[in-house]
């Protein structure tokens, strides 16, 4: 049984699905690890680092011909066609937007685990790629905001004068939002946060931020810890109540997403027009349409004197640590799949296991993902 680590081909992707440190842990499960040459280069992992961890360096064709293929992002259709029947792919797959690729995998008799579909349960926490990468993204987003903000973030008192702390607002208190709050507080900002799920108020307060309490007439609490889409009436009320509050912010970091849907609009054009010149918006929902209509995907633009950052892969800006976390998640997940026996190691996809059943989106020629 061999596993391969692919070299990511997206120009903005610097992560690797496995780090040398994670590879050492994976070796203990008994499988042979093949690493495509250069797979870790952008994360500062050399081929020699993987060799030292017990991996074999291979070419692209050999990597795609493995029994189990590990990647960060969903492969292209042409790349999927290069996999052998019966092999297993583990990667972020974006199944909501991949109907054609799901059908192709079923046709080729590939098994596919979509890492973003790992259930958000206590047992699966160590396998949750979305959470590990969102933690990194929330931290890095604050650094990006500060780098583009032309004033002090903490309160500063000197003989030459005093600077007040930056007023920073975080919209959405999921994993990325909570890490953004914690990082901004460590930087000395005065932080206020909002979420449509009232149960996160205690977490926001515990990090030293204020909770922005808006009465929308309903909650956005969904299944599995995620937010659900609000009604049109609640959306309109949310925009109205937020607009005036956001005009006072120096920095806004938005993280609000609804799985499989376009990101909700939280920062209106009117709010942007009312913000002070030099203010900064970091729209972490840019990959799914953005929480601000003025956001431009993978661009940093200035609108009405406000800098709007629409980067889509913050974890990739911290590639070494992100790859290590990502790899550790995969090692823990593969612990449920790889079984040692007298003849070596075999692959077992147990549909009675709630974790495997939750993230196995294609199996034995059938698409299992329900939108």
User: CA–CA separation, 104 vs 100, rounded Å?
Assistant: 6
51 is catalytic: no
The closest of 76, 168, 135 to 326, measured between CA atoms, is 135
Q: Contact 324/21 with Cβ under 8 angstroms?
A: yes
- Specify the 3-state DSSP secondary structure of 266: coil
Catalytic residue among 120, 151, 185, 245: 120
226 is catalytic: yes
- Specify the 3-state DSSP secondary structure of 319: helix
Pairing type for strands 156-158 and 161-163 reads antiparallel
Per-residue H/E/C for 30-98: CCEEEEECCCCHHHCCCHHHHHHCCCEEECHHHHHCCCEEECCCCCCHHHHHCCCCCCEEEECCCHHHC
Catalytic residue among 4, 131, 133, 179: 131
The closest of 88, 65, 1 to 340, measured between CA atoms, is 1
Tokens of residue 159, six digits: 């003989």
Q: In what order do the strands lie in the sheet with 88-91?
A: 56-58, 32-36, 2-5, 68-70, 88-91, 111-114, 360-363, 366-367
User: CA–CA separation, 124 vs 275, rounded Å?
Assistant: 41
131 is catalytic: yes
User: CA–CA separation, 303 vs 287, rounded Å?
Assistant: 19
314 is catalytic: no
Catalytic residue among 37, 96, 203, 226: 226
203 is catalytic: no
Catalytic residue among 128, 195, 283, 324: 128
- Specify the 3-state DSSP secondary structure of 254: strand
Catalytic residue among 37, 62, 79, 125: 125
Tokens of residue 328, six digits: 């550790």
Q: Enumerate the active-site residues.
A: 120, 125, 128, 131, 226
């Amino acid at each position: 049984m061999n596993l391969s680590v692919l070299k990511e081909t997206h120009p903005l992707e610097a992560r690797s699905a496995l780090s040398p440190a994670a590879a050492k842990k994976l070796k203990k499960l008994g499988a042979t690890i093949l690493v495509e040459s250069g797979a870790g280069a952008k994360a500062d992992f050399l081929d020699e680092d993987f060799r030292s961890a017990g991996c074999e360096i291979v070419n692209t064709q050999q990597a795609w011909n493995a029994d189990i293929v590990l990647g960060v992002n969903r492969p292209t259709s042409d790349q999927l066609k290069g996999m052998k029947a019966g092999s297993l792919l583990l990667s972020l797959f974006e199944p909501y937007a991949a109907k054609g690729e799901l059908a192709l995998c079923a046709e080729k008799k590939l098994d596919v685990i979509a890492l973003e579909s790992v259930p958000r349960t206590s047992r699966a926490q160590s396998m949750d790629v979305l959470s590990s990468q969102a933690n990194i993204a929330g931290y890095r987003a604050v650094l990006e905001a500060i780098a583009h903000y032309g004033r002090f973030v903490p309160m500063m008192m000197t003989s030459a004068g005093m600077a007040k702390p930056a007023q920073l607002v975080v919209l959405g208190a999921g994993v990325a939002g909570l890490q953004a709050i914690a990082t901004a507080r460590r930087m000395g900002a005065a932080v206020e946060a909002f979420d449509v799920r009232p149960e996160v108020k205690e977490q926001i307060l515990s990090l030293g931020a204020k909770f922005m309490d808006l009465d929308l007439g309903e909650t956005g609490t969904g299944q599995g810890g995620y937010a659900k889409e609000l009604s049109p009436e609640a959306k309109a009320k949310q925009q109205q109540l937020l607009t005036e509050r956001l005009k006072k912010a120096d920095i806004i970091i938005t993280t609000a997403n609804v799985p499989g849907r376009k990101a909700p609009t939280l920062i209106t054009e009117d709010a942007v027009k009312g913000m002070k010149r030099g203010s900064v918006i970091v729209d972490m929902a840019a990959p799914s349409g953005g929480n601000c209509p003025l956001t431009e995907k993978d661009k940093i633009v200035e609108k009405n004197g406000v800098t709007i950052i629409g980067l889509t892969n913050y974890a990739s800006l911290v590639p070494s640590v992100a790859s290590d976390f990502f790899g550790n998640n995969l090692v823990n997940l593969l612990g449920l799949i790889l079984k040692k026996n007298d003849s070596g190691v075999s692959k077992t996809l147990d549909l009675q296991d709630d974790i495997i059943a939750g993230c196995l989106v294609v199996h034995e020629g059938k698409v299992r993902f329900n939108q």
